Each structure stands twice: as C-alpha cells, then as structure tokens.
Structure 1
Amino acid sequence: MNTNRVNNQKIKQIMMLREDRNLLVVAHLSQLLDLVTGIGGFIVPLILWLTQRDKVLNMDEHGKQILNFQISAFIYSIICIPLIFLFGLGILALIALGLLVLIFPIINAIKASNGEPTYYPLSIQFLK
C-alpha cells in the first residue's frame, strides 16, 4: 500500500514539471561565459540547475551533465599545467580541451532544443 502512495507522488511530481527546452538551451550555452568571465560558465548553470531542477523537465539531468563537464574540464586544465614542461604536451592538451569546451556546449544546446539526449566526452561523473 505504501509503495502505491510513493509511486503516485512521483507521478504527480513528474506531471507538475513543465517542459522548457529554451531554458535547457540557455543552460548549455551559458557555459560559454567561461570564455568571457572565467568562472561564469560554472556559476550560471549551477544557479539554473539549483533553482529549476524541480520545476523543468530534464533540467536535473542536463544540469548534472553540464556541471560534471565543467568540473572535469577544470581538473583537466589543472593537469595540463605541469605537462607544459614535458615537451609542451600540456599546450596541445589545453588547445584540445579549449576546442571541446567551445564546441560541445553548442552541439548539446542544439540537441537539447530538438529534445535529443546530450553527451559530453571525457566527463567524470561527480554528480549522478
């Protein structure tokens, strides 16, 4: 009997969520603020995820993917710094990372606007 009540509450909660693909697109594209502000690409998606994850359909999933990608990119960039002294491999890795950070938010924003699943490569799953 208790399981039915829990299932009914979950169904009601899911039905109360609104679909807002434009907000998902904004969340993905807001990562590009890193190129301008340095940390805005982490702060803005974090705020959107924390405030909208219980109100917008799929915001919880997209927000976690975005934050995992941002944290992973930060860790990879920190790892690249000592690699600069090793035959300049860190510079090549930073260039590749910069391209990933520029290209994949745009690709995933387009996918989010079409309702397709998104994917960020090399993303460590900190938030599940």
Structure 2
Amino acid sequence: MTDPISTPAAPQPAAPLTEAEDRQWASFAHLGGIIGFLPSLIIWLVFKDRGRFTNTEGKEALNFQITMVAAYIVGSILSVIVIGFLITLAAAIVSIIFSIIGFTKAKDGIAYRYPFAIRLIK
C-alpha cells in the first residue's frame, strides 16, 4: 500500500495591520531605541510588509539607532581620553530623548524624522 504524499500547506501571508496596530508598532519601533537598535530592527523586519506607517517609521528609527551605535563606537575608541566618555554619555542622552519624541509623534500618527541620522536603509 502506498500512502498519498501530503504536501504541507503554503504559509499564508500575514494580515495587514489595522491603523491602530500600525501606529502602535511604529511607535514601539521608536521607543525600543532606548535599549538599543535590536527592537527597531526586529519590529521593522516583522511588520514592514504589513503596515505602511510601521515600515516608514521603523526604517527611520533603525537608521537613527545605527547612527547612535556609530557614536557609541567612536566614544568607546576615544575613551582613552576624557572626550570619549562625554561622547558616549551625550549619545545615550540624545538617543533616549529623541526616541521618546519619536514614540509620542508616531503614537499620534505623525511621521517623525530625526534631526540627524545616517540613512542607510532606504
């Protein structure tokens, strides 16, 4: 007797986000910047195809966090002299402040563009 070969079902594309969910995940992408670039990266990768606003804001938040990582690296390298500590401290404070501003804007459905960021992800 032969068993019919069963083929696994094709994965279904994820449902698009509602407007409220889109704003929620976009705001979380900004807020995640307080602890580093990984939350922004994960949110953008998971939800970029499901919500237009999340895609835009996730990229913006991720680009800013990549810029902050570069500032942390420069600060670490220059930590041999006192200015490295100051650069690292300033980058941490700026990251927290702008992440919170981005969160509040995105929560209200307003696109937020950071005043400075290396835009590597288009």
| 1:56 matched to 2:66 | no
Structure 1 residue 76 displacement after superposition:
1.1
Structure 1 residue 17 displacement after superposition:
6.1
In the alignment, what sits opposite 2:116?
122
| 1:70 matched to 2:65 | yes
> How many equivalent pairs are there?
105
In our comparison, the structure showing a higher alpha carbon Rg is 2
In the alignment, what sits opposite 1:91?
85
| 1:26 matched to 2:28 | yes
Is the CA contact (8 Å cut-off) linking 2:23 and 2:54 kept in structure 1? no
Normalising to structure 1: TM-score of the pair?
0.72
Q: Identity of aligned pairs, percent?
A: 35
For residues 81 and 52 of structure 1, the distance between their equivalents in structure 2, rounded to whole angstroms, comes to: 33
- Structure 1 residues without counterparts, runs of 5 or longer: 1-15, 35-40
Structure 1 residue 42 displacement after superposition:
2.2
- Structure 2 residues without counterparts, runs of 5 or longer: 1-15
Normalising to structure 2: TM-score of the pair?
0.75
- After superposition, the C-alpha distances for 1:14-38 in whole angstroms (9 at most, x for unaligned) are xx66422122122211222x2xxxx
User: For residue 55 of structure 1, what is the amino acid of its counterpart?
Assistant: R
Higher helix share: 1
User: Would you identify which runs of 4 or more consecutive aligned residues in structure 1 move more than 4 Å?
Assistant: none
Distance 1:82 1:50, change over 3 A: closer
Distance 1:84 1:25, change over 3 A: same
* Aligned Cα root-mean-square deviation (Å): 1.8
In the alignment, what sits opposite 1:46?
41
| 1:103 matched to 2:105 | no
For residues 31 and 84 of structure 1, the distance between their equivalents in structure 2, rounded to whole angstroms, comes to: 23
Structure 1 residue 77 displacement after superposition:
0.9
- After superposition, the C-alpha distances for 1:22-67 in whole angstroms (9 at most, x for unaligned) are 22122211222x2xxxxxx322222211121111131111111111
